[in-house]
Amino acid sequence: PVIKDPPKIHRLDESVISRIAAGEVIQRPVSAVKELVENSLDANSTSINVVVKDGGLKLIQVSDDGHGIRYEDLPILCERHTTSKLSRFEDLQSIKSMGFRGEALASMTYVGHVTVTTITKAQLHGYRVSYRDGVMEHEPKACAAVKGTQIMIENLFYNMTARRKTLQNSADDYSKIVDLLSRFAVHYKNVGFSCRKHGAARADVHTVASSSRLDAIRSVYGASVAQNLMTIEASDSDPSSSVFCMEGFISNSNYFAKKITVLLFINDRLVECSALKRAIEIVYAATLPKASKPFIYMSIVLPPEHVDVNIHPTKREVSLLNQEVIIEKIQLAVELQLRNSNEMRTFQDQV
Ligand code: ADP
Ligand code: MG
């Protein structure tokens, strides 16, 4: 065989690097919506409204009534690694905000057309400016604006043909967005959310700020879900095993569904934890075989230094100190609650 010369190694263009990285942070329209809604939550908004066209490929628009963005910051807003939330690496240990990498908005400008409209408390009028590949396309233009920020992404993945094609063929991105907003609306009960298709009169998620989590669940998932929930709690304060507290709702034996639903928030972050999900499924299958696809909402709070929020590019997963112990304690609490409610039922059936 002929041995060829090795191919030459060269440095990639900055713009190519950025677009590759952006495709990882913004995997599909729903990832963009998640980043935008998290920014709105980080900005202390009390009302967040989402409009989507063509599953998010034509348009994603997120409007909030948060603190807005300073005029002086607009030039670097969409550069990579610009953030108001993190300064030192050590701050990651105690970070309360959902963002910290300063990568989301930048990523969106590399894979779509981003327009920002924002006003702060100190300003009499707002500003609007569009971005491409991390930079402003023109000077910010003065415009009328109500409180807060509106971010619009048009033509997502216009420059990623393969991604656009696969997404165009899948009809379910809008439902993923609705599902995402539903979860946020339940946990952030003090924030009103709405999500609608562009041009639609009716919103598919619509909540008002409420003091009751059960009310939030009712308005998102319906009365039939809310009426079949029981409260659940678990905690541990022994530093030698684990330190956490959990509260939430789990469905009872009258709740039937084809699929398990798990709404999980760890230190107010929407995350997934397949090990916890599996542990809960096992308990339900053993205790309530006829209602073994439960609805679960859990909010787990633990010391920030026990959570590593930086293990996943989309922050979908976090890693917890003493995860096995925590899961075991939660599993036990669920089991006890299910057994108790089962006994109550049997008892009631007898009288
Ligand atoms: P990160 O959230 O990691 O800081 P982003 O790229 O998501 O990075 O956002 C960059 C910065 O833009 C944020 O740190 C914040 O200061 C500002 N920002 C983004 N969205 C909003 C918003 N809806 N309201 C106020 N400020 C925002
Ligand atoms: Mg962010």
Q: What is the number of domains present in the chain?
A: 2
Ligand 1: atom nearest CA of 67 is 25
Tell me the chain's radius of gyration from C-alpha atoms: 23
Residue that terminates a domain, selected from 154, 171, 206: 206
Q: What is the mean pLDDT of the chain?
A: 93
222 within domain boundaries: no
Same domain, 234 and 270: yes
CATH number at residue 261: 3.30.230.10
Same domain, 98 and 29: yes
Among residues 169, 195, 178, which one has the least CA distance to residue 47? 195
Residue 347's pLDDT band (cuts 50, 70, 90)? low
Same domain, 257 and 310: yes
Q: How far is the CA of 340 from the centre of ligand 1 (A)?
A: 46
Among residues 235, 232, 200, which one has the least CA distance to residue 214? 232
Q: What is the pLDDT of residues 223-250, one digit of tens each?
A: 999 999 999 999 999 888 889 999 999 9
Look at residue 75 and tell me whether its pLDDT is greater than 80: yes
275 within domain boundaries: yes
Residue 300's pLDDT band (cuts 50, 70, 90)? very high
Residue that terminates a domain, selected from 173, 206, 239: 206
What proportion of the chain, given as a percentage, has pLDDT over 90? 81
Look at residue 206 and tell me whether its pLDDT is greater than 90: yes
| Parent domain of 249 | 228-350
70 within domain boundaries: yes
pLDDT for res 148: 98
Q: What is the pLDDT of residues 126-168, one digit of tens each?
A: 999 999 999 999 999 999 999 999 999 999 999 999 999 989 8
Q: Which residue's alpha carbon is nearest to atom 20 within ligand 1?
A: 39
Same domain, 167 and 258: no
CATH number at residue 28: 3.30.565.10
Q: What are phi and psi of 347, to 5 degrees?
A: -65, -45
307 within domain boundaries: yes
Ligand nearest to the CA of 62: 1
Same domain, 258 and 316: yes
Neighbours of 228 (CB within 10 A): 18
Q: Which residue's alpha carbon is nearest to atom 13 within ligand 1?
A: 83
* Average pLDDT for 292-307: 94
Q: Ligand 1, from 36, 41, 42: best to mutate by most atoms within 8 Å of Cβ?
A: 42
pLDDT for res 350: 66
Among 27-36, 71-80, 81-90, 337-346, whose mean pLDDT is lowest? Answer: 337-346
Same domain, 100 and 241: no
Residue tagged 């541990």 (tokens): 236
Same domain, 180 and 232: no
* Average pLDDT for 86-98: 90
Sign of the C-alpha dihedral computed for residues 305, 316, 299 and 99 taken in this order: positive
Same domain, 31 and 160: yes
Same domain, 190 and 235: no
Q: Cα separation of 39 and 45, whole Å?
A: 9
Q: Cα separation of 183 and 222, whole Å?
A: 13
